[in-house]
Chain A
């Protein structure tokens, strides 16, 4: 039953929000834990650790993924975007602004996951219909808002990006 005192560690390099980081992680370390506890980027949250709630959503090479279902070692050499990277030069992104303007968050725990999901959605579908918005965010759970204002925020962000 005894385990080695030190687990083998793997040296990886990942780029987070444009900044390269070199870290040594055990093979089983989750990307969510690596981001949160090794890189101290705690904006990415963990709500279920089984890939359902979407709180931990980050963009991996531009595509939304569950960082709680991703081993850190598998992102060696890849680019990750997290909520901390959305505000370019300190200016909040259209999605971030719209979430505040539409009261699309209450406790704010699920919010980073929604922001990343919505960011990816609008990059791919800049002018989504309401159905596309609802479908696009339907992999993220929110327990506070009832989603109505989140849908409104994504709609508003899309409109403000077009103008």
Chain B
């Protein structure tokens, strides 16, 4: 057997293109396309009194100007509410172009189309919109106070109230030997991929087809949404995802206004004439004020516990800022509510999440998708329990962990996929042991004392999480061996840097017995695979990885059947090695896979020398009484299959950090950062490590640097990279990691997702370490030196 590629840390097949400038991102396409630009609201909340486009009409290169009034039929209807939920009683979505009222700075009001982007921006700048400003609702407390409303018909600014419980938490807390309460806060941040969103639409009246390239995480659903809005048959709409410069959640929302408006405008401007192409590439300021944010929550915790620190009852009130609209439903508060439980057995639990409207940018999942907030809540609670009891923080956690023999473990709640929150597998005590070893938990007291003797302050923190990954409903894979022996793999979900082409090729190459170099993978192109859900929730490897494995097994079975006929051998005696089907133990009896591919497609016409082998007089077909294509089979050496999981699979991890705080300046520096991670068997450990590194960096960013700051009028004060402090290499510590591989019993490959893991517990870990260094409770993240300085004088 050739070496198994699954599990090998091979270099990525994506990189050769990307390091030579041959990547093709959205704005690298369509050089000759018309360009769109948008007039966006400068007000957080205002009534539109008048839109005067006449000053723009003389602008050079102007092609068209559109306002809400111009949008016909379904194009002018509100954007879809993608994930309805019974608790979302007052879901609201915006219009592609604002109708009468704007509800956040950055909401699109007018679309301009011109010959290039410079001309489009000139025209957009000339358009005059008259607004009557309305009172803006900014901040969770103000939203809850509801002195003003974001939507006139949404009382209290409340979009949803979601209560989940298992057991009687209030009673358990009341009866517990110890009780405490905490108020916690996490501020807004954002995915902030280095490539913004972008759409490039081409409509061809000759064949009535629309092709849309979009920087999305969900191309098949964008296609369905566009088809619905434009009232076109989906088969006439192709959506192609080019190289995507990062997503981290923000690009899973769809259809964005631009994804509806550009295709519609291309079709409208084309009329019955020549094809029309229009492109829009979001600029950075637009991304800050018109894409999505996440994180902002306030939490109130009541917990009852015993002398060992075991949690007997936990009652959490979450107030979640969902921004101006709820196109992505209440997924973020659902995830916070459920994943808050982490690796722990909680006696009784009640959580009430209230999702509130504010006059700010919409809030939709950003890597972690509500988990960092939930883990912050639970881990700060664990630390508070340890402090109250005078016990070691790791020991308190150990007392609460689910034991390995208790899987599958039912947490008694409903997860974000609507399925029961049942953990499939894991080994949390082992992880705790590993993280203690990796960071040197038990030796830290001595280290701290040595530092103290030098006038330095050190603290250590620990955070644990469980992440539901690989949620359904499904993904599919298509595997085709062509007559040159090349293997073409397609799956519908999209890629934003995760290395899918590499890991899916590893899986397909193993299953088929072909060299890695013979496998090419396409993702996110509806022309190649039309059925898919999307890339989010750390699901791509689990869903598409398994689907591709299943599809490849079908192809393998077919190849062995056809080769068996050709070699007059029992398919059960055959193996495929390096792209050649051979009789195991008798390698001389063999047939290359490419020849099997020829034979798999019975032909009349010999268009080349290979094809001649499959023609009717070549003597390679079945007997005279058999149909050339056997019943129940299809021509071609290809196969398609789907993987649909019963429910999510649960990855997990524990992080620890040692942080130094400056007694004078209150600067905080992460001296060491350690990660123990379990996503089941790793397809490519190098890629998993990379995902962890990137996730931790985003976690550090959200702990010490990044926050989106709105003033009381709803202006985003730091809508640029000058003011929103994304960390450079100088700010991110070296990350030490160790892995545990507990297989999932739920899928054929036994794998779990890894994409979001790194980011999840970081704010909890950093807060714990700073609290430990300073002896001051840290209940709000992110934290700046200025914040810490203030806390020192007013804890």
Contacts of A41 in B (CB 8 A): 21
Chain A residue at smallest Cβ distance from B686: A103
Contacts of B21 in A (CB 8 A): 41-44, 82-84, 112
Interface size for B (C-beta < 8 A) is 61
Interface 0/1 of A81-114, CB less than 8 Å to B: 0111011000010001001110101111111100
Closest-CB distance, A110 to chain B (whole angstroms): 5
Contacts of A107 in B (CB 8 A): 193-195, 243-246, 496-497
A142 vs B732: C-alpha distance when bound (angstroms): 11
A134 at the interface (CB under 8 A from B): yes
**Cβ–Cβ contact A138 & B728, under 8 A:** yes
B382 at the interface (CB under 8 A from A): no
Interface 0/1 of B664-693, CB less than 8 Å to A: 000000000000000000000011011001
Closest-CB distance, B217 to chain A (whole angstroms): 12
Best-buried of A1, A108, A149 by chain B (most CB within 10 Å): A108
B18 at the interface (CB under 8 A from A): yes
Chain B residue at smallest Cβ distance from A43: B21
Closest-CB distance, B791 to chain A (whole angstroms): 28
**Cβ–Cβ contact B19 & A115, under 8 A:** yes
A96 vs B21: C-alpha distance when bound (angstroms): 10
| Residue from the list A43, A48, A101 in contact with B22, Cβ < 8 A | A43
**Cβ–Cβ contact B12 & A100, under 8 A:** yes
A145 vs B19: C-alpha distance when bound (angstroms): 15
Closest-CB distance, A88 to chain B (whole angstroms): 12
Name the interface residues of B688-703: CB closer than 8 Å to any CB of A. Answer: 689-690, 693-698
Contacts of B193 in A (CB 8 A): 107, 109, 143
**Cβ–Cβ contact B194 & A52, under 8 A:** no
A106 vs B686: C-alpha distance when bound (angstroms): 11
**Cβ–Cβ contact B687 & A144, under 8 A:** no
Name the interface residues of A1-33: CB closer than 8 Å to any CB of B. Answer: 1-7, 26, 28-29
A141 at the interface (CB under 8 A from B): yes
**Cβ–Cβ contact B16 & A141, under 8 A:** no
Contacts of B18 in A (CB 8 A): 105, 108, 111
A55 at the interface (CB under 8 A from B): yes
Contacts of A139 in B (CB 8 A): 728
**Cβ–Cβ contact B19 & A111, under 8 A:** yes
**Cβ–Cβ contact B15 & A100, under 8 A:** yes
Chain B residue at smallest Cβ distance from A153: B19
A99 vs B721: C-alpha distance when bound (angstroms): 25
A127 at the interface (CB under 8 A from B): no
B283 at the interface (CB under 8 A from A): yes
B296 at the interface (CB under 8 A from A): no
Name the interface residues of B260-286: CB closer than 8 Å to any CB of A. Answer: 283-284
**Cβ–Cβ contact A146 & B497, under 8 A:** no
A36 at the interface (CB under 8 A from B): yes
**Cβ–Cβ contact A106 & B498, under 8 A:** yes
A123 at the interface (CB under 8 A from B): no
Interface size for A (C-beta < 8 A) is 63
Closest-CB distance, A108 to chain B (whole angstroms): 3
Chain B residue at smallest Cβ distance from A131: B730
**Cβ–Cβ contact A2 & B58, under 8 A:** yes
Name the interface residues of B195-213: CB closer than 8 Å to any CB of A. Answer: 195
**Cβ–Cβ contact A143 & B696, under 8 A:** no
Name the interface residues of B22-75: CB closer than 8 Å to any CB of A. Answer: 22-25, 27-28, 31, 55, 58-61
A158 at the interface (CB under 8 A from B): no
A83 vs B194: C-alpha distance when bound (angstroms): 18
B444 at the interface (CB under 8 A from A): no
Main secondary structure of the interface of B (DSSP, over half): loop
B126 at the interface (CB under 8 A from A): yes
A45 vs B215: C-alpha distance when bound (angstroms): 15
Closest-CB distance, A66 to chain B (whole angstroms): 12
**Cβ–Cβ contact B698 & A143, under 8 A:** yes
A103 vs B60: C-alpha distance when bound (angstroms): 46
| Residue from the list A110, A137, A147 in contact with B194, Cβ < 8 A | A110
**Contacts A52-B721, A92-B19: A6 and B60 contacting too (C-beta < 8 A)?**
yes
A110 vs B21: C-alpha distance when bound (angstroms): 11
B734 at the interface (CB under 8 A from A): yes
Contacts of A137 in B (CB 8 A): 728-729
**Cβ–Cβ contact A143 & B28, under 8 A:** no
A50 at the interface (CB under 8 A from B): yes
**Cβ–Cβ contact B246 & A144, under 8 A:** yes
Chain A residue at smallest Cβ distance from B247: A107
A109 vs B447: C-alpha distance when bound (angstroms): 41
**Cβ–Cβ contact B248 & A106, under 8 A:** no
Contacts of A92 in B (CB 8 A): 16, 19-20
A150 vs B729: C-alpha distance when bound (angstroms): 9
Contacts of B499 in A (CB 8 A): 106
Best-buried of A26, A84, A142 by chain B (most CB within 10 Å): A142
**Cβ–Cβ contact B694 & A105, under 8 A:** no
Name the interface residues of A26-79: CB closer than 8 Å to any CB of B. Answer: 26, 28-29, 36-37, 40-50, 52-53, 55
**Cβ–Cβ contact A105 & B15, under 8 A:** yes
A136 vs B626: C-alpha distance when bound (angstroms): 70
Chain B residue at smallest Cβ distance from A87: B20
**Cβ–Cβ contact B20 & A148, under 8 A:** no
B11 at the interface (CB under 8 A from A): yes
B181 at the interface (CB under 8 A from A): no
B154 at the interface (CB under 8 A from A): no
Closest-CB distance, B645 to chain A (whole angstroms): 26
**Cβ–Cβ contact A145 & B693, under 8 A:** yes
| Residue from the list A1, A87, A146 in contact with B126, Cβ < 8 A | A1
A4 vs B19: C-alpha distance when bound (angstroms): 41
B722 at the interface (CB under 8 A from A): yes
Chain B residue at smallest Cβ distance from A140: B728
A151 at the interface (CB under 8 A from B): yes
Chain A residue at smallest Cβ distance from B696: A146
Closest-CB distance, B395 to chain A (whole angstroms): 31
Chain B residue at smallest Cβ distance from A148: B693
A137 vs B735: C-alpha distance when bound (angstroms): 18
Contacts of B17 in A (CB 8 A): 108
For this complex, 17 residue pairs linking A to B, each with C-beta atoms less than 8 Å apart, are A1-B58, A7-B60, A43-B20, A49-B284, A52-B720, A52-B721, A83-B20, A103-B690, A108-B18, A109-B25, A109-B245, A141-B728, A143-B192, A146-B693, A146-B696, A147-B729, A148-B732
Given contacts A92-B16, A110-B245, A145-B694, 14 further A-B contacts (CB under 8 A): A1-B55, A5-B61, A7-B60, A29-B118, A40-B31, A48-B284, A48-B721, A49-B284, A50-B284, A84-B20, A103-B12, A134-B730, A142-B729, A146-B694
Report the 7 A-B pairs with minimum CB-CB distance, sorted nearest first. A43-B21, A109-B245, A107-B497, A108-B18, A2-B58, A146-B697, A146-B693
Chain B interface (Cβ within 8 Å of chain A)?
A: 11-12, 14-25, 27-28, 31, 55, 58-61, 118, 122, 126, 192-195, 243-246, 248, 283-284, 496-499, 686-687, 689-690, 693-698, 720-722, 726, 728-730, 732, 734-735, 758
